């Protein structure tokens, strides 16, 4: 008689990718609804237009005033198309920077929710300065004189994610992923075979546990059994606890020291010796 195994199957990085992409996971608007007592959304970059793939506005979370910024993928087909599946355009990143300037002006912390396969790579976005918009955000956020807390809630794809992810504290949900390239893209480049995406996912070290070990992120927020899509309220409660604790800690640091620490934090990444 064969022995019964009581050990659970170990979750692979590719499993995490599937969970991170699950359409049932809470999106930016659901987090705002579950976490914030009020939210005033701001639109437009004052240069070209408004990007529905990037949500920005003033919010209150347990009496803590803040600015909330995040990618929006959409739930329905219509929302997906309007938000370009969470792939923000240059005006999305410029809108985010505009709202972050207001946060600095009014001494409000910034909380960003990252969930994008990457910035939109279309010719029209490139013509309007996609790379420049993201690069400008990286430079601007590095010196922003107010606390910044980042939460990767699903996919953290390449520069599209990093454009709103330069923070004093960077957290990931347990089954979120954060990477310079998608596993499929990496497999296509390295092996000329997109079917090798699971192997690429393992090699890229894109899971929350790997990135915590590499000191790319500061902490992992646990998800309910089965993933965030199984219990939105419990997931939001865990995010809220982490975000408010981080803001409380960062608010006690003098702003010039805060900026210096943020700069050194990102400069130190990749130093192994």
Q: What is the arithmetic mean of pLDDT over 228-257?
A: 96
Question: Between these two residues, 10 and 162, which has the higher pLDDT value?
Answer: 162
DSSP assignment, residue 196?
A: G
Kindly report, residue by residue over 164-210, the tens digit of the pLDDT: 999 999 999 999 999 999 999 999 999 999 899 999 999 999 999 99
Q: What is the arithmetic mean of pLDDT over 154-158?
A: 92
The pLDDT of residue 2 is: 45
Q: What is the arithmetic mean of pLDDT over 251-259?
A: 96
Query: Hunting for tokens 């499993």 — which residue is that?
Result: 15
The pLDDT of residue 253 is: 96
What domains, with CATH codes, occur in the chain?
17-180+206-264 (3.90.226.10)
DSSP assignment, residue 128?
A: T
Q: What is the arithmetic mean of pLDDT over 60-70?
A: 96
The pLDDT of residue 8 is: 56
Of the chain, the percentage scoring pLDDT greater than 70 comes to 96
Confidence tier at 10 by pLDDT (50, 70, 90): confident
Kindly report, residue by residue over 209-238, the tens digit of the pLDDT: 999 999 999 999 999 999 999 999 999 999
Which of 178, 177, 167 has its CA nearest to residue 247? 167
Asked if residue 211 lies in contact with residue 217, where contact means CB atoms within 8 angstroms, the answer is yes
6 pLDDT above the threshold of 60: no
Kindly report, residue by residue over 35-54, the tens digit of the pLDDT: 999 999 999 988 898 989 99
The pLDDT of residue 7 is: 43
Q: Alpha helices, DSSP H only, in the chain? A: 13-20, 28-35, 77-82, 90-105, 123-127, 130-142, 158-162, 183-190, 197-204, 208-213, 232-251, 255-267
Token reading at 67 = 């600015």
Confidence tier at 4 by pLDDT (50, 70, 90): very low
Of the chain, the percentage scoring pLDDT greater than 90 comes to 79
120 pLDDT above the threshold of 60: yes
**Alpha-carbon gap, residue 172 to 11, rounded angstroms:** 17
Confidence tier at 272 by pLDDT (50, 70, 90): low
Q: What is the arithmetic mean of pLDDT over 58-81?
A: 93
């Amino acid at each position: 008689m064969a022995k019964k195994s009581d050990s659970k199957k170990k979750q692979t990085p590719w499993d995490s990718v599937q969970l991170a992409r699950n359409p049932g996971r809470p999106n930016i608007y659901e987090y705002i609804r579950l976490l914030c007592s009020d939210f005033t959304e701001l639109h437009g970059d004052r240069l070209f237009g408004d990007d529905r793939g990037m949500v920005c506005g003033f919010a209150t979370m347990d009496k803590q005033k803040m600015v909330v910024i995040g990618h929006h993928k959409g739930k329905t087909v219509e929302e997906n198309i309007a938000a370009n599946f969470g792939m923000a355009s240059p005006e999305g990143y410029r809108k985010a920077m505009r709202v972050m300037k207001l946060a600095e002006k009014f001494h409000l912390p910034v909380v960003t929710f990252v969930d994008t396969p990457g910035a939109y790579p279309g010719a029209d976005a490139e013509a309007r300065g996609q790379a420049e918009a993201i690069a400008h955000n990286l430079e601007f956020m590095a010196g922003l004189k107010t606390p910044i807390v980042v939460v990767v809630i699903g996919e953290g794809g390449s520069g599209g994610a990093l454009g709103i992810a330069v923070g004093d504290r960077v957290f990931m949900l347990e089954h979120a992923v954060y990477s310079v390239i998608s596993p499929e893209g990496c497999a296509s480049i390295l092996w000329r075979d997109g079917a090798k995406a699971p192997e690429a996912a393992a090699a890229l070290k894109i899971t929350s546990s790997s990135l915590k070990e590499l000191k790319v992120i500061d902490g992992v927020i646990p998800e309910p059994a089965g993933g965030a899509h199984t219990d939105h309220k419990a997931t939001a409660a865990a995010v809220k606890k982490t975000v408010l604790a981080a803001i409380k800690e960062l608010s006690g640091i003098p702003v010039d020291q805060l900026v210096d620490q943020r700069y050194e934090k990102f400069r130190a990444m990749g130093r192994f010796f």
